[in-house]
Amino acid sequence: MTRDNILIVGGYGEVGRKIAKILLSSYPNRVCIAGRNLEKARQFCAQHDGLGAPLQMDVSRTVHPQQLANVALVIMCLEQQDTTFAELCLKEGIKYIDITASHTFLKQLKNLHSTAIEYRSTAIFSVGMAPGLTNIMAMHATNPLTTMEKLHISILLGAGDTHGTAAILWILQQLNIPYSHYENQIITNFTSKRSVQFRDIGKRSVYQFNFSDQHTLAHHFPSVPIVTRLGFDVESLNWFVAFLQKSRIAYLLKFKGVQSMLASLVQKIKMGTDVCSIQIEAIGKIQHKEANVTLDFKGRDESLVTAKVAAAIARELLDNKYPAGTYHIEELFTFEALQNQFDASSFSQLITSQ
Q: What is the pLDDT of residue 99?
A: 95
Q: How far apart are CA 6 and CA 265, in angstroms?
A: 35
Residues 118 and 40 in one domain: yes
Residue 38 belongs to a domain: yes
- pLDDT per position as a tens digit, 197-218: 999 999 999 999 999 999 999 9
Confidence at residue 159, expressed as pLDDT on a 0 to 100 scale:
82
Q: Are residues 102 and 170 in the same domain?
A: no
219 and 187 inside one domain: yes
The answer to whether residues 267 and 333 belong to one domain is no
Tell me the pLDDT tens digit for each residue of 106-122.
Answer: 999 999 999 999 999 99
Structure confidence at residue 101 as a pLDDT band (50, 70, 90): confident
pLDDT in tens, 300-331: 999 999 999 999 999 999 999 999 999 999 99
Instruction: Indicate if 139 and 234 belong to the same structural domain.
Output: yes
DSSP β-ladder status, 191-198 and 147-157: unpaired
Provide the domain limits for residue 292: 130-301+343-347
Report the amino acid identity of residue 281.
E
Residues 164 and 282 grouped into a single domain: yes
Same domain, 90 and 160: no
For the chain, the domain total comes to 2
What is the per-residue DSSP string for 321-339?
---SEEEEHHHH--HHHHH
* Residue 308 and residue 289 share a domain: no
DSSP per-residue string spanning 220-265: TSTTS-EEEEEEESSHHHHHHHHHHHHTTGGGGGGSHHHHHHHHHH
Domain contains 170: yes
Residues 182 and 292 reside in one and the same domain: yes
Please check whether residues 231 and 271 belong to one and the same domain: yes
Q: Does a structural domain hold residue 79?
A: yes
* Residue 354 domain-assigned (yes or no): no
Q: Is residue 353 part of a domain?
A: no
145 shares a domain with 293: yes
Over range 274-302, report the average pLDDT.
96
Q: Are residues 155 and 265 in the same domain?
A: yes
Does residue 194 have a pLDDT over 80?
Answer: yes
Bond preceding residue 178 cis, omega within 30 of 0 = no
- pLDDT band of residue 250 (cuts 50, 70, 90) is low
By CB atoms closer than 10 A (0-12, 13-18, 19+), residue 193 is: middle
Q: What average pLDDT does range 13-19 have in this prediction? A: 95
| pLDDT tens per residue, range 162-190 | 765 667 777 777 888 899 988 889 999 99
Examine the pLDDT at 1 and tell me if it is beyond 60: no
CATH number, domain of 149, equals 3.30.360.10
Position 216 in a domain: yes
Q: Provide the 10 A C-beta neighbour count for residue 183.
A: 7
User: Model confidence over 28-78: pLDDT tens digits?
Assistant: 999 999 999 999 999 999 999 999 999 999 999 999 999 999 999 999 999
CA distances from 128 to 76, 191, 256, 285, 330 (A): 12, 24, 26, 30, 12
Domain with 65 in it: what CATH number? 3.40.50.720
